[in-house]
Structure 1
Amino acid sequence: MDEEKYRDQFQTYTGRRNFLQRPFFPIYVLLAVSYLLIIIGLVVALSKITTVSSELNKTHASLAKDPFGSDFVLFPCGSDNRQWEYFNGKCYFFSLETVSWTRARNLCQSSDSQLVTIDGFPKQFFLQTRTRNERFWIGLHDIQTEGEWKWLDGSDYITGFKNWKAGEPNSYRNTDEDCGQLWINGEWNDYDCSSISYYVCEKALPSKSRVA
């Protein structure tokens, strides 16, 4: 009698234990799925990191071959020379100091450039919008022979573009004025070369191949 009683109680206990263990099975399944998803996420993240790293390496390699990189588009005249302004395939520097014409010529040459040559209306308009209300030396002169005006870069003055003020070029009080400048309204004026004015330098657009 007692054995049957204990046997029944043991079976009841065992049944209850199995009943209590069964609800944990779905939890184990969910945990396994969660771990699997985490692993998949890590694999995807690592894959993306590898892709980004590869792209960065390509960019660095490209920049090593081309120091200008995207800056060449943003700063055609050179990212390290942002005081130079780009216009129509060339670079221009507008001085912040006033000097004599000869000094201005030398300063431009020291920057691998020349005092600007004005060869048409587009450049004339560009320059006069940047120099309005001030005087700026340009690369025009008749220093060698009075009345024979020349551009420093050798451009043909006789048949080329001109924009002199009315009555210019001339001499002022019997004093030769041998150097050209942009007047305060953009027209050209001849002036005493030893006088001081601002100046405009001009140079070719830097080439990528020069620094490759």
Structure 2
Amino acid sequence: MAPTIITILGLSAVVIVSSQPPPCPHGWISRGSSCYVFISDTPEDWMTAMSYCNVLHAKLVEIESVTEDEFLRIHLADSKATGGYWIGLSDILVEGDWVWTSTQSNPTYSNWNPGQPDNVHHHQDCAQLYGPYGFHWDDGSCNDANNFICEKAIDDETDVIG
């Protein structure tokens, strides 16, 4: 598309129009290089929550820093959230070897509540931000129906006309 030329009172200017889409889809929250959506109206088991995020072209949130963790915990506390929120961390494949599902890598940052993970009854293989623990990390049964948080990268697409 050609630049738009505007002439006012004999002065010409070339106008370049930048089409900047919103950083995140409607209903999502922008933070750093990611968009987040907090799903609390349809609690799901961990696998279904992961699939739900995939349909949104996202993943269960993978918390990579204290800053990201604090952002999520503060948002949950400010919104008066309760219960657990699934995150994308699991030891389903090898007990005690916690990995992020999208990369199968071990976390470089963690914020487990003291005494966690504890694998109560040998059935707690999925991680959650757990309200009763101040949204510190807890291991839970993957079959429990919990709220969850999806995360995706902010699309950085700008159309420059001209």
Structure number with higher helix proportion: 1
Residue 99, structure 1, aligned to residue 48, structure 2? no
Count of aligned pairs: 146
Q: Judging changes above 3 Å, is the alpha-carbon distance between structure 1 residues 155 and 102 closer, same or farther for their aligned structure 2 residues?
A: closer
Q: CA deviation at 1:120?
A: 1.0
Q: TM-score, normalised by structure 1?
A: 0.61
The 1-side partners of 2:63 and 2:151 are apart by 10
Q: CA deviation at 1:140?
A: 0.3
Amino acid at match of 2:109: F
| 2:99 corresponds to | 150
Q: TM-score, normalised by structure 2?
A: 0.79
The 2-side partners of 1:137 and 1:188 are apart by 10
The 2-side partners of 1:168 and 1:103 are apart by 24
Which deviations, in whole Å up to 9, do the C-alpha atoms of 1:118-140 show, x marking residues without a partner?
11110000000122342110000
Q: CA deviation at 1:76?
A: 1.4
1:85 to 22, 29, 32: 29
| 1:7 corresponds to | none
RMSD: 2.7
Bigger Cα displacement from structure 2, 88-97 vs 116-125: 88-97
Gaps of 5+ in 2: 1-6
Higher Cα radius of gyration: 1
Q: Which aligned runs of 4 or more in structure 1 are off by greater than 6 angstroms? A: none
1:112 to 45, 57, 66: 57
Amino acid at match of 2:74: T
The 2-side partners of 1:152 and 1:171 are apart by 19
Amino acid at match of 1:140: L
| 1:129 corresponds to | 74
Q: Which has the higher contact order (CA 8 A, sep 6+)?
A: 2
Structure number with higher strand proportion: 2
1:161 to 79, 85, 109: 109
The 2-side partners of 1:207 and 1:112 are apart by 15
The 2-side partners of 1:102 and 1:151 are apart by 13
Amino acid at match of 2:99: K
| 1:17-28 equivalence runs, <5 A | none
The 2-side partners of 1:119 and 1:85 are apart by 17
Which deviations, in whole Å up to 9, do the C-alpha atoms of 1:26-54 show, x marking residues without a partner?
xxxxxxxxxxxxxxxxxxxxxxxx74xxx
1:139 to 78, 88, 91: 88
